[in-house]
Amino acid sequence: MASNQIVMDTDTWKEFQQGSKDAFETIYDRHWNALLRYTYSIVTDQDIAKDILQEYFMEIWEKRRALPVPQNTEAFLLFVLKHRILNALRKEQIREKH
């Protein structure tokens, strides 16, 4: 990733943390497809993958002030998403058992 892109991503992330809906939309638009492909590769149901990802972005918005400013936005989003998917799968397994 070029250093100009890193600076732009960092600035966008900081604006997002301050509550900028435009910055959130930029992050969402820039990373949605990659995150959806990743989610779908694990879940293999497109509707469930989209639901997980939509909930994930809502959670990111709600917790934005507590999140660190990542050096690599996409890598950070993928890392956090991985844990979100695992939690969703665990909940589903628990629901199926009961």
Supply the DSSP string of 1-63, one letter for each residue: --HHHHHHHHHHHHHHHTT-HHHHHHHHHHHHHHHHHHHHHHH--HHHHHHHHHHHHHHHHHT
- pLDDT of 69 > 60? The answer is yes
User: Does residue 5 or residue 14 have the better pLDDT?
Assistant: 14
Q: Name the pTM for this structure.
A: 0.82
- What integer best gives the mean pLDDT of the chain? 88
Give the model's pLDDT for residue 55: 92
- pLDDT of 12 > 60? The answer is yes
